[in-house]
Amino acid sequence: MKSTNKEYVQLAVAMCRTGILGYGGGPSVIPLIRHDAVSRYGWLTDDEFGETLAIANALPGPIATKMAAYLGYKLKGVRGAILSVLAHILPSCIAMIALLSAVNYLSGSKTVAGMIAAVSPVIAVMLGMMAYEFAQKAFKGLGKWIGTAFLVLALVLLEVLHLHPAIVIVLYLSYGTVHYRILAGKNKKGGTA
C-alpha cells in the first residue's frame, strides 16, 4: 500500500517539477520529463521514451501534457493520468494567475528581457543534446549512411518542399512499420531454419 502511495507522490512531484521548471513551451520540457522518467525513476527505458515521444509528436495537442498523461496512465491508469496532467499544468496556471497583475510593469523591464535572453541558449542546448542522443540511436539502428540519407530527406521535405511536418511524420512512421515487418519476417525465417 505504501509503495502505491509512493508512486503517486513521485509522479506528482516529477510532473510538478517539470511544469515549474519547463520554461519556454513543450519542447523545452521534454528533456526534463525524460530525465525523471528514464534516469531518476526508471519508469521507461530510453527506447520506450523515444517511441512514446515520436507517437506524442504525431498526435495533436501540447507535447508535454501528452507525455505527462502517458506516464501517469502507464504507471497508475486513469487516476495516474489525471494526477500527472494536473500536477504538470496547475503550477503554471497558478503562477500565471498570480503574476498577471505584474505583466504590464515587467514587460518593459530590461532585467526581465535579459533573463529571457539568458535562458534561451540553455533551452537550445538541452534540445540539441536530446536530438543528438536520438540521432545516435537512429544512426546505430539504420547505419550511418542510411541515417544521414533520411536526415537529408527530412530536411528537403520540410525546408525545400515545405511539406507539412505531420505528413513527414506519417511517411517516416509508415516506413518504420514496413521496415520493422521486413526485419521481423527475416528474423522469423532465420530462426526456423
Residue 11: pLDDT above 70?
Answer: yes
pLDDT score, position 161:
94
Cell 493520468 locates to 81
Higher local confidence (pLDDT), 40 or 134: 40
Confidence grade of residue 191 (pLDDT, cut at 50, 70, 90): low
Q: Are 29 and 18 in contact (CB under 8 A)?
A: yes
Give the per-residue SS3 of the chain. Answer: CHHHHHHHHHHHHHHHHHHHHCCCCHHHHHHHHHHHHHHHCCCCCHHHHHHHHHHHHHCCCCHHHHHHHHHHHHHHHHHHHHHHHHHHHHHHHHHHHHHHHHHHHHHCCHHHHHHHHHHHHHHHHHHHHHHHHHHHHHHHHHCHHHHHHHHHHHHHHHHHCCCCHHHHHHHHHHHHHHHHHHHHHHHHHHHHC
- Percent of the chain at pLDDT > 70 equals 92
Q: Is the pTM of this model over 0.75?
A: no
Measured distance between the N- and C-terminal CA atoms of the chain, rounded to whole angstroms: 49
Confidence grade of residue 193 (pLDDT, cut at 50, 70, 90): very low
Residue 35 in grid coordinates: 530525465
Residue 132: pLDDT above 80?
Answer: yes
